[in-house]
Amino acid sequence: MSEKPRRVSRIQKKNREAILAAALQEFSARGFAGTTIDQIADVAGLSKPNVLYYFASKDAIHTELLEALLDLWLGPLRELQAAGDPADQILAYARRKLEMSRDYPQESRLFANEVLQGAPRLASILGGALRELVDEKAALIAVWMAEGRIARTDPHHLLFSIWALTQHYADFEVQVRAVLGDGHDPFAEAQGFLDQLYRRLLRPGAD
Amino acid sequence: MSEKPRRVSRIQKKNREAILAAALQEFSARGFAGTTIDQIADVAGLSKPNVLYYFASKDAIHTELLEALLDLWLGPLRELQAAGDPADQILAYARRKLEMSRDYPQESRLFANEVLQGAPRLASILGGALRELVDEKAALIAVWMAEGRIARTDPHHLLFSIWALTQHYADFEVQVRAVLGDGHDPFAEAQGFLDQLYRRLLRPGAD
DNA sequence: GAAAATATTGACCAGTTGGTCAGGATCAGG
DNA sequence: CCTGATCCTGACCAACTGGTCAATATTTTC
């Protein structure tokens, strides 16, 4: 489609990365509309025209960030496999997602910001690739339930619950920390809680 | 503190309400920075200067919305009482919160937007009134657990999980609907799922 | 029904923002 | 060390935005 430069110089690579990192920080903290190119430039240590030398527009930066994000975001779900113990598989997925919230909170917030505002730039993916992936994994989970290896429940909403619970600790981190006060490690505690919750929910015979 | 007009005329009441409703719609959909006074004025059916006749500034509208929101938002948790069956009390709380997500999705998104961006205007409340309320209810839940009336788990994270799960259906409604496709009633299904989840989590002897 | 209070508006303004551009600085290859 | 490509910047612009204000319209009150 679009012609990309044959070679990317060291400078180009470094600056593009700096801009994307700065933009991620700002967009995730202030939203797209709340962020100015100048702020991104400042954080990246560049001038505004220089930022626009590397990216055609503010929108282009945002789009590139979102595209990169999607790969990262859907990764853990892809790893949900048929092999192994079903409950362990699901618990491992929840754990991976929680680690993502802990290690990539900015990405989580960028995604949240986007979906919160109607996901205009993600709508096709949500109803397309994501939906197919979710349906596939939900079918796998349904098989496990039919085999009696885990307790019955709605597979789609089971997955939603994992998203909601894990992303909550990134997206609402301020609130969680404010309510818990100092001396807490929200993510460590959350891991224990989630383990417990899904073990009890899925324990064979619980239904 | 501030001097309010002795009498509020019909017009004043009607227009202030129209402005707040319009602002809620726009702020929750586009964020504070992404919303212009002109947009609010259009939705409210007024002119921009007329909006600013009723509110001192864009910020003042936002602040007033947030204040009104807090009462609404903390209401359900206050109703969590010591009387009655513990599991029923918690299930009822989850159900009320889910109904809030269904009936006040804009309020939920406004709140999410705010917390997502670091909650600069709510920080004192989150660490103050909210924290106290949560601690109080967490203590009540801890008593129930100590009495063996519900299974043991972390009361704070139990409450967080209810927030995360219920608000998810409002804040990420676009995603939920995109993934489920047509022919689903996310909120109805969620209610069944949540009932099941918390029943199994809290079932005495589950620990 | 006239005066007073309230409501509404068009015109305007200053600051901000996304984006452009011509020219200059710097770098890589020969 | 020369040259072309790449990189960077100051100055600039048009559009937009929050907010003001004097003048006008409307409603309320007596």
pLDDT-derived band at B10, boundaries 50, 70, 90? confident
Mean pLDDT across chain B: 94
Q: Which sign does the torsion angle of CA A45, A51, A53, A55 carry?
A: positive
Tell me the pTM.
0.93
What pLDDT shows up at residue A1?
A: 37
What pLDDT shows up at residue B1?
A: 35
For B158-199, the pLDDT digits (tens) are 999 999 999 999 999 999 999 999 999 999 999 999 999 999
For A99-108, the pLDDT digits (tens) are 999 999 999 9
Identify whether the C-beta of residue B108 lies closer than 8 Å to the C-beta of residue B101: yes
Domain spans of chain A, in order of start: 1-55, 58-202
What pLDDT shows up at residue A118?
A: 93
pLDDT-derived band at A7, boundaries 50, 70, 90? low
- Model confidence at A6: pLDDT above 70: no
Interatomic distance A6 CA / D5 C1' (Å): 13
**What's the average model confidence in pLDDT over A77-98?**
95
The Cα–Cα gap between A4 and A7 comes to: 9
pLDDT-derived band at A85, boundaries 50, 70, 90? very high
Q: Please, what is the end-to-end C-alpha distance for chain A in angstroms?
A: 52
What pLDDT shows up at residue B158?
A: 98
A179 touches chain B (CB under 8 A): yes
Task: Note which residues in 104-133 of chain B have CB less than 8 A from chain A.
Answer: 109, 112-113, 115-119, 123, 126-127, 130-131
Residue B66: name the closest of B22, B18, B122, B21 by CA: B122
- In Å, what is the CA distance from B153 to each residue of A170, B34, B134, B142? 21, 41, 15, 9
* pLDDT > 70: percent of chain B: 96
Q: Which nucleotides of C are covered by protein (CB under 7 A)?
A: 6-11, 16-22, 27-28
pLDDT-derived band at A12, boundaries 50, 70, 90? confident
Domain spanning A1-55: CATH 3.40.50.150: no
**What's the average model confidence in pLDDT over B56-66?**
97
- Model confidence at B116: pLDDT above 70: yes
**What's the average model confidence in pLDDT over A188-194?**
98
SS3 string, chain B, reads CCCCCCCCCHHHHHHHHHHHHHHHHHHHHHCCCCCCHHHHHHHHCCCHHHHHHHCCCHHHHHHHHHHHHHHHHHHHHHCCCCCCCHHHHHHHHHHHHHHHHHHCHHHHHHHHHHHHCCCCCCHHHHHHHHHHHHHHHHHHHHHHHHCCCCCCCCHHHHHHHHHHHHHHHHHCHHHHHHHHCCCCCHHHHHHHHHHHHHHHHHCCCCC
What pLDDT shows up at residue A4?
A: 41
Q: Cα angle at B76 between B205 and A117, to 5 degrees? A: 105
Interatomic distance A43 CA / D10 C1' (Å): 20
For A138-185, the pLDDT digits (tens) are 999 999 999 999 999 999 999 999 999 999 999 999 999 999 999 999
Architecture of domain B58-202: Orthogonal Bundle (1.10)
Across A37-51, A117-131, B95-109, least confident range:
A117-131
Alpha helices in chain A (DSSP H): 10-30, 37-44, 48-54, 58-78, 86-103, 105-116, 123-125, 131-146, 155-171, 173-180, 186-202
Q: Which residues of A touch B181 (CB under 8 A)?
A: 127, 131
